[in-house]
Amino acid sequence: MDPLYRSAFALADDIRAGSRSSRELLEFFLQRIERFNPALNAVVALDTERARARADAADAAVAAGEDWGPLHGVPITIKDALATEGLVTVGGIPACKDNVPEQSAVAVQRYVDAGAIIFAKTNVPFMSADLQTYNDVYGVTNNPWDVTRTSGGSSGGAAAALAAGLTPLELGSDIGGSIRTPSHFNGVYGHKPSFNLVPQRGHLPPGDGVLSEGDLSVIGPLGTCPQDLEKALDIVAGPLPEEGVAWQVQLPAARATAAGDLRVAVWLDHPAFPVDDEIQAAIAAAAQTLADAGAQVDLEARPQFDVEEQHSNYAMLLSAVMGAGMPEAVFEGASAAVAAADPDDRSLLMQQMRGIAQSHREWLRQNEKRQHYRAQWAQFFQSYDVLLCPCASVTAFPHDHNPDLYQRQLQVNGKAVPYLNILGWAGLTLNSYLPVTAAPVGVSSEGLPIGMQIVGPYLEDRTPLAVAGMLQQLHRGFVAPPGY
């Protein structure tokens, strides 16, 4: 069977069964990279010789009757924000262009311990801090559906590599849509786990020597089928090594295994974060598919909070995380800007400045607000099993590298909206730590993929993953970009 776009775990089964070799598979993906990557720039660093040696060892292990685990001998790429032992990890940061970690990120190591072969890294924006992927070290990553458009960010290289068939599995991170938006832009699957389900240790930034776990950010898998996401999540989920002496992860089963047993809420648009009509139509069509299969579908259900107030809370908490790693001069500049600002100034820029400059006392207040939003979501999910909503307000847009993010604009239904509005739908679910599976549901009139968020209750990650599987069977699964 052709290995192209085959499940990563099915490839491992093939290797263990002897129907294909790990070395053969590695050479297949290296040849794909040689052929397609020059136009995409998704893969930015290779570890070819060590990967070949490990592939040969994986094949020898099979011959000896040994089993390395569920990813035995499968070559995969890793987002360049995650530390990889012996393989350069740059994170889009020029000062880190020669950084070669001595150990892998915890989640990456769990892939390795499950038998995977890390053979390459995929591109990210500077400090993984943009919804487009480009940096001064490796340059721009293009979208395989249209190379004049962005692949998204920050896991843009990862999603583009999957869509182009350069790798069968990835590992990304998400603090502002960085798994979900690239999945949507490239037509692949991605899972943003419940917060604190997968260790962040080894992510750059803050760096592979930092031991504390930050707020909001999560690590999760990307792939070309939802089944791979769930199996990969089972591998990477769990406590930090030093905490494993006391607890372990035991995720509950999905709330439903058939569409007829589902209670589905659908949220297509909001005035503060308007959504392209074609995206709304594609999500509505997916919801109708579930309804036709017997699901209870509600187009009006919403958690009971003010969306714009919730987004302000997210912006404050997000800026606190992002600002913590910025130079002292940035903090001082933000503090001065806040002191001089009109207290009623609620612009995106001033929200960010307030978040960077906030005191710990203010952070505690913001966190308390967030806990109330979490409680409202928990109440909402007593009546509904999943929420379907946009990953982003637009499909993949033309490259825009204006250094001033506040001058960038996006076009939604022919009207200009601020670039950072793209965080609205991402933050809606991330701020409350909810699990989300991003799934492809259609293609726009311009031939660009459309994905959606399938949102589940906290720590019930298997429920949105199960719904993604239902839609894969009933509605639409992964489709390769033309020419790949």
Name the domain count of the chain.
3
Domain assignment present for 131: yes
Confidence of residue 442 (pLDDT cuts 50, 70, 90): very high
pLDDT tens by residue, 72-91: 999 999 999 999 999 999 99
**Final residue belonging to a domain, choices 317, 339, 362:** 362
Strands (E), 330-471: 386-390, 409-412, 415-418, 436-443, 449-455
Residue 330 has pLDDT above 80, yes or no: no
Per-residue model confidence (pLDDT) at position 382: 98
**φ/ψ of residue 319, rounded to 5:** -65, -30
Kindly state whether residues 466 and 388 are assigned to the same domain.
yes
Domain assignment present for 264: yes
Domain assignment present for 174: yes
How large is the average pLDDT for residues 14-29? 98
Domain assignment present for 484: no
**φ/ψ of residue 21, rounded to 5:** -105, 155
Per-residue model confidence (pLDDT) at position 322: 86
Question: Quick one: tokens of 154?
Answer: 């920050």
Residue 250 has pLDDT above 90, yes or no: yes
Per-residue model confidence (pLDDT) at position 465: 99
pLDDT tens by residue, 43-54: 999 999 999 999
Domain assignment present for 483: no
Kindly state whether residues 214 and 283 are assigned to the same domain.
no
Residue 132 has pLDDT above 90, yes or no: yes
Which uninterrupted H or E stretch holds 170?
strand 170-174
Kindly state whether residues 133 and 162 are assigned to the same domain.
yes
Kindly state whether residues 271 and 409 are assigned to the same domain.
yes
Confidence of residue 336 (pLDDT cuts 50, 70, 90): confident
Q: Side chain identity at 484, as an amino acid letter?
A: Y
**Final residue belonging to a domain, choices 210, 243, 276:** 243
Kindly state whether residues 107 and 84 are assigned to the same domain.
yes
Q: CB neighbours (10 Å) of residue 209?
A: 12
**φ/ψ of residue 142, rounded to 5:** -100, 160
Confidence of residue 36 (pLDDT cuts 50, 70, 90): very high
Closest C-alpha among 76, 110, 70, 430 to residue 238: 110
For Cα atoms 11, 155, 467, give the angle at the middle one, nearest 5 degrees.
Answer: 60
Kindly state whether residues 467 and 326 are assigned to the same domain.
no
Considering only CA atoms, give the Rg of the chain: 21
Confidence of residue 194 (pLDDT cuts 50, 70, 90): very high
The pTM assigned to this predicted structure is 0.97
**Percent above pLDDT 90 for the chain:** 92
Kindly state whether residues 207 and 338 are assigned to the same domain.
no
Kindly state whether residues 182 and 287 are assigned to the same domain.
no
How large is the average pLDDT for residues 99-123? 98
> Which residue(s) pair with 388 in the sheet?
266, 454
337 by Cβ neighbours in 10 Å (0-12 / 13-18 / 19+) ranks as middle
Largest CA distance in the chain: 71
Domain assignment present for 254: no
How large is the average pLDDT for residues 439-456? 98
Kindly state whether residues 265 and 183 are assigned to the same domain.
no
Q: CB neighbours (10 Å) of residue 239?
A: 17
470 in Cβ contact with 290 (< 8 Å): yes
* Residues spanned by the domain of 316: 309-362
Per-residue model confidence (pLDDT) at position 462: 99
Kindly state whether residues 166 and 295 are assigned to the same domain.
no
Average pLDDT over the chain reads 96
Domain assignment present for 77: yes
Per-residue model confidence (pLDDT) at position 101: 98
Confidence of residue 352 (pLDDT cuts 50, 70, 90): confident
Per-residue model confidence (pLDDT) at position 118: 98
Kindly state whether residues 236 and 314 are assigned to the same domain.
no
User: What CATH number is attached to the domain comprising 290?
Assistant: 3.90.1300.10
How large is the average pLDDT for residues 185-200? 98
Kindly state whether residues 319 and 354 are assigned to the same domain.
yes
Domain assignment present for 3: no
Q: Residues of 399-427 as b/e, b for ≥16 C-beta within 10 angstroms?
A: beeeeebeebebebeeeebbbbbbbbbbb
Q: CB neighbours (10 Å) of residue 91?
A: 29
